[in-house]
Structure 1
Amino acid sequence: MQHLRRMEDRVVLLTGGGGGIARGVARAFADEGAKMILTDIFPGGMERTKAELEHDFGTEVFTCVADGSKEDEVKEAVEKGAAHFGKLNVLINSAQTSASGLTLVEHTQADFDKAIYSGLYATFFYMKYAFPFLKETKGSVINFASGAGISGKPGQSSYAAAKEGIRGLSRVAANEWGAYDINVNVVLPLVMTDKLAQWGQENPEMFRKNLDEIPLGRYGDAQKDIGKVCVFLASYDAKYITGDTLFIQGGVGMKP
């Protein structure tokens, strides 16, 4: 069967491009023919992802170190990336950090700010400055939220607040940007990462208990499960889907 390469000649900006989930998403888009703009606050992982995409897929990759919490850095990254390729078709906001594991009352304002600025503000800034380019291409936005916000997971107050803020922001953008044929959606991934695998080795009984709560019985693969859904949302096949939240969690959190 011939590979469809649904992202041929399309340019995708992915934040947090050095992270594990983002790396898998980047691989899924590169496999479909996309050109990639990667941004991250840390250059090391991002450059490793760039080298990997170039080697494995022959993908053209532009990288830019940028702190998503700083508006001027985001503006520069978006404009440089779009100028390099001459356009921007897809924006994916994946980057996020937080003070996970602290109860609500243990959070300081600095802890709370960490999540809000790295997630909610970064998503806002990237959307704001990507908009003129997405308007030209009738593009797509995919924002990452979390089941922690849906379920109110203990120890995740700032993270959940940031992620639920991103969902609200995304719905407003879907309404405002529909007139320009830009669709905006949110994904909630449940994915295997190196940190999760290590935690599973250290806590095998709890890891097994968590697996048993997933109807499909496994954690998602960043490229095959999460990345491929993102490719679909960015494709022409999904242009009539907007303002929605897609649970990519193997059945966890299923809704009526």
Structure 2
Amino acid sequence: MRLKDKVGIVTGGAGGIGRGIALAMAKEGAHIAIVDINEENGQKVLEEINGHTEGMLFIKDISKRENVEDIVEKVVEKFGRLDILVNNAHASKQAPFAETTMDMFDLSFNTGFYPTFNFMQVAYPELKKTKGKVINFASGAGINGQPTQASYAAAKEAIRGITRVAANEWGADDINVNLISPIALTEGVKQWRENFPELYDETINKIPMKRMGDPEKDIGRIAVFLASEDSDYITGQTIMSDGGSTKL
């Protein structure tokens, strides 16, 4: 119970990596508010969380700052504190670089980068009180320049940039700000496998462990570590939870 009575927000928590993180943290004693746009799946994950601790569900468009403010306010109102912020939500469309459009960039930044920035800024006063933890998400798509993922890679690298800035600024407040760069078998990855089977096979062959990670066991446990006191002297880092694909 490394996170007993801690309170966290996990965006994109209704499935995939977000669900894995929410459940891993709940099993360690944290109360978790999940944020998503998929109400049906969100209710299912909320029930799973409530089987361990107490959760909340927000069906909100987090591209709007006022919704971010409302979520943070309601979580603190219910639980009295905020210790953990996990900015996992992100949507994008893949296309060859020459065919990438501004609409694709708008989708990626409005669902990934700007919500991450807004949640960090809005949550900062509460995280300062609890000496909290921020967990953002990077991607090998940006670090290595994955083909067909220009808009996604750009937003992920922008998130890495502001994470390092916040780590430098908020270190004096004892707030840890880190990134996970995962490879995990999610619904989105399964769809990517169908659309780009050759790239998928190429990706698997480059993973030394020859498999995709499990959202809860492989990625969620890293998030638990970063949210716990065990990571108190780690900040501004990109943790590669990718089976050894990228070695920084």
Tell me what 1:16 maps to: 12
Q: Distance in 1 between matches of 2:98 and 2:201?
A: 30
Q: Distance in 1 between matches of 2:117 and 2:192?
A: 32
Q: Distance in 2 between matches of 1:38 and 1:21?
A: 12
**Pairing partner for 2:184 from 187, 191, 195:** 191
Tell me what 2:46 maps to: 50
| 8 Å contact from structure 1 (residues 17, 45) kept in 2 | no
Q: How many residues were matched structurally?
A: 248
How do residues 86-235 of structure 1 correspond to structure 2 at under 5 angstroms? Answer: 86-100=80-94, 102-197=95-190, 209-235=202-228
Tell me what 1:6 maps to: 2
In the TM superposition, what whole-angstrom CA distance separates every residue of 1:163-203 from its partner, at most 9, and x where no partner exists? 00000010000011111100100000001124545766898
Q: Distance in 2 between matches of 1:207 and 1:104?
A: 18
Q: Distance in 2 between matches of 1:83 and 1:175?
A: 29
| 8 Å contact from structure 1 (residues 28, 231) kept in 2 | yes
Q: Distance in 2 between matches of 1:63 and 1:202?
A: 32
The one-letter code matched in structure 2 to 1:7 is L
Is 1:36 aligned with 2:32? Answer: yes
Tell me what 1:252 maps to: 245
SS in 1 for 2:161: helix
Deviation at 1:206, TM superposition (A): 6.5
In the TM superposition, what whole-angstrom CA distance separates every residue of 1:187-228 from its partner, at most 9, and x where no partner exists? 000011245457668988875553332111211111111000
Is 1:83 aligned with 2:77? Answer: yes
| 8 Å contact from structure 1 (residues 190, 248) kept in 2 | yes
| 8 Å contact from structure 1 (residues 97, 119) kept in 2 | yes
The one-letter code matched in structure 1 to 2:12 is G
| 8 Å contact from structure 1 (residues 93, 144) kept in 2 | yes
| 8 Å contact from structure 1 (residues 14, 39) kept in 2 | yes
The one-letter code matched in structure 1 to 2:146 is K
| 8 Å contact from structure 1 (residues 186, 244) kept in 2 | yes
In structure 1, stretches of 5+ residues that fail to align are: none
| 8 Å contact from structure 1 (residues 191, 219) kept in 2 | yes
Residues 102-111 or 201-210, more deviating = 201-210
Structure 1 pair 203–72 and aligned structure 2 pair: CA distance change class (3 A):
closer
**Pairing partner for 1:237 from 230, 237, 240:** 230
Q: Distance in 1 between matches of 2:200 and 2:144?
A: 19
Deviation at 1:117, TM superposition (A): 1.0
In the TM superposition, what whole-angstrom CA distance separates every residue of 1:130-156 from its partner, at most 9, and x where no partner exists? 101100000000001110001111111
RMSD: 1.8
Structure 1 pair 205–71 and aligned structure 2 pair: CA distance change class (3 A):
closer
TM-score by length of 1: 0.91
Tell me what 2:65 maps to: 71
Is 1:26 aligned with 2:22? Answer: yes
Structure 1 pair 232–115 and aligned structure 2 pair: CA distance change class (3 A):
same
Q: Distance in 1 between matches of 2:103 and 2:15?
A: 23
Deviation at 1:42, TM superposition (A): 2.7
Structure 1 pair 204–223 and aligned structure 2 pair: CA distance change class (3 A):
same
